[in-house]
Structure 1
Amino acid sequence: MISRRMTLLLAAGIASLSAPASAGYSPFGTANFRAALEAGGPVLVHIDASWCPTCRAQKPILAKLLSQRDFAGVRAFAVDYDTEKAFMREISAPDRSTIIMFRNGGEAARSTGDTAEERIEALIRSAL
């Protein structure tokens, strides 16, 4: 029989797996990221850790902005800080709560630790 604690842990794990997709994120993988870059449109990468309070503050802001018509063409990826170290080295992003915008296959702008909606919006707009 599954304990109450195990049931809660399983539910939390399932919820965390579905959260990025519902927030407008595409499933992350280096192949998916490279394909998005090659397509040439704006690409957002959010270096995220489930335990990071700054990342948690950024998520609803990004979800709100990515749901707006102005940002419909932005392809967004949540990159797990704890498991994607090789990718983070590749894009020179050692810190969690980092948001990087790419345009035309290259980096256009980056921010680390920012939770101000207007600055995050400006960061995304810089790659449109």
Structure 2
Amino acid sequence: MPDTDTTTALTTVSDATFAPTVLNSPRPVLVEFTAHWCPPCRMIEPVLTEIAAENADHLTVVQLDVDTNPVTTAAYGVLSMPTLMLFRDGEPVRTLVGARAKRRLLNELSEVL
């Protein structure tokens, strides 16, 4: 029987839900700024899904489509996809651009988680 926790889709946020979901979150939130036409975004999605499932008790992982949510995308100066931005207490504390392996991503986030 497959483990359904690791196949759960990531939560999607929008311009309208970004503030309550990300900025007002009591725990860190990793936001993937993504686009459906972006191959590296599709490559990193399974990695983010695994991280979300494995760290569900202390980290929230969400996706924001840059094409349908231009206000938030512009507010954070996102120009390349995927851009991963870690928020803590409503503030971005780390920004990473481009797809990467799970181990590398966890290593890059470990000092700010």
TM-score, normalising length: structure 2:
0.79
Cα deviations by residue, 1:47-80 (Å, 9 ceiling, x for unpaired): 1112211001100111111110x34332222111
1:34-113 correspondence runs (5 A) = 34-36=19-21, 37-68=23-54, 70-113=55-98
* Equivalent position amino acid for 1:82 in 2: D
5+ residue gaps, structure 2:
1-6
Q: Partner of 1:9 in structure 2? A: none
Q: Which of structure 1's runs of 4+ aligned residues deviate more than 2 A? A: 29-33, 70-73, 122-128
Aligned length: 106
Aligned-residue Cα RMSD (Å) equals 2.1
Sort the Cα spacing of 1:31 and 1:127 in 2 relative to 1 into closer, same or farther, 3 A: farther
5+ residue gaps, structure 1:
1-20
TM-score, normalising length: structure 1:
0.71
**When you count helix as a share of all residues, which structure comes out higher?**
1
Q: Looking at both structures, which has the greater relative contact order when contacts are Cα pairs under 8 Å and sequence separation is at least 6?
A: 2
